[in-house]
Amino acid sequence: MSWAEFLARVFAIDMSRCPNCMSENFKPCAAIIEVAAIRKILPHLKLPDKPPDIAPRLYRWDRRSTFQ
């Protein structure tokens, strides 16, 4: 599976079309994969550079309980 297919499948992002004009001539020119570079770029764009906290679980699962 290509990375473009992965993005389309997981995040519903169509990398074959330009997000601004929806032209099918969209060609990404780079992918930034170095963590240090990403941590500098995201704050500059006023975006968080750390993932959100994991939400607490909604209920305690008990193996003995049954769902009917």
Give DSSP secondary structure letters for 11-44: H---TTS-TTT--TT---------HHHHHHHHHH
What mean pLDDT is predicted for residues 4-19? 80
pLDDT range class, residue 45, cuts 50, 70, 90: very high
Shortest CA distance to 23 belongs to which of 14, 10, 32?
14
28 versus 46: the higher-pLDDT residue is 46
